[in-house]
Structure 1
Amino acid sequence: MEILASRVLLRPADYGRSLTFYRDQIGLAIAREYTGGTVFYAGQSLIELTSHGEAQAGGSLWLQVRDVYGTQSELEGRGVAITRGAQKEPWGLHELHVTDPDGVVLIFVEIPGDHPLRRDTRD
């Protein structure tokens, strides 16, 4: 499989407190904001804080792939347990969840061609 992009996804217990910490106290620049989340520049990576989903200690690893459904088949063929099968999310992305041996959630993501992450939304 080919990984196209990645980011660290954090689901804090208190979104507002974490937003203030990363934005105001650490001083990270905002790459993108959306309803319920903020993505920060972090060198050659991104850190995304999200207020949806259950709070998780340790965060998640966000891995963009070309075909999340094909990735699921590939992983199943390798004997990898699927935590949550590939499906379209309310925010428009197609996601597949796998949990590593230490409990870190790997979120494999396919971004459809019509999603705002794939389109230039500037005037």
Structure 2
Amino acid sequence: MEILASRMLFRPADYQRSLTFYRDELGLAIFRDYGAGTVFFAGQSLIELASHGAPEHPAGAFPGALWLQVRDVRATQAELEGRGVPIAREARQESWGLHEMHVTDPDGVTLIFVEIPPEHPLRRDTRRD
């Protein structure tokens, strides 16, 4: 199997509320708007909000989270707070070495903003091992 691209697809309970959250509050750039939905850039990934179809889960029951790598998680937290976005869990260093901060979208999906410190194993060049 060859995977050429991927994205997270959400069918929010309130499309306009989620569109405002991702576009205006988080400030994500739009990749494309196709009339029945909007696709956003999210680093090397994409997030699609579909305005068609019913939510595939009850609010708050999404079985997972969206992991978003940022350069500076504390600066990201300050930027989001400046836009009035509630922070579900403030930035801190986890026991596994990553710096993480959590935000919850209007349907209860957890967005985990992650900063990978320079010394973390995820940054190790495995070509030299």
Normalization by structure 2: what TM-score? 0.52
Correspondence 1:96-111 to 2 at 5 A: 96-111=101-116
Q: Secondary structure at the match of 1:90?
A: coil
- Give, in angstroms, the shift of residue 6 of structure 1: 5.5
Unaligned 5+ segments in structure 2 are 1-26, 29-41, 47-60
The residue identity in structure 2 corresponding to 1:105 is T
Q: 1:86 and 2:91 equivalent?
A: yes
Separation of aligned partners in 2, 1:75 and 1:57: 22
Q: 1:64 and 2:72 equivalent?
A: no
- Give, in angstroms, the shift of residue 101 of structure 1: 0.7
Q: How many residues align?
A: 75
Correspondence 1:15-94 to 2 at 5 A: 57-94=62-99
Contact 1:89-1:95 within 8 A present in 2 as well: yes
Decide whether aligned partners of structure 1 residues 5 and 64 sit closer, same or farther in structure 2, where only a CA change above 3 A counts.
farther
Compare CA radii of gyration and give the structure with the larger one: 2
Match of 2:120 among 100, 115, 119: 115
Q: Which residue of 2 aligns with 1:17?
A: none
Q: Secondary structure at the match of 1:58?
A: coil
The residue identity in structure 2 corresponding to 1:103 is G
Contact 2:92-2:99 within 8 A present in 1 as well: yes
- Give runs of ≥4 in structure 1 deviating > 6 Å: none
- Give, in angstroms, the shift of residue 58 of structure 1: 2.2
- Give, in angstroms, the shift of residue 93 of structure 1: 0.2
Contact 2:77-2:101 within 8 A present in 1 as well: yes
- Give, in angstroms, the shift of residue 4 of structure 1: 3.8
The residue identity in structure 2 corresponding to 1:117 is L
Contact 2:62-2:108 within 8 A present in 1 as well: no
Q: Which residue of 2 aligns with 1:47?
A: none
**What is the identity percentage for the equivalent residue pairs of Structure 1 and Structure 2?**
69
Unaligned 5+ segments in structure 1 are 8-55
Q: Secondary structure at the match of 1:72?
A: helix
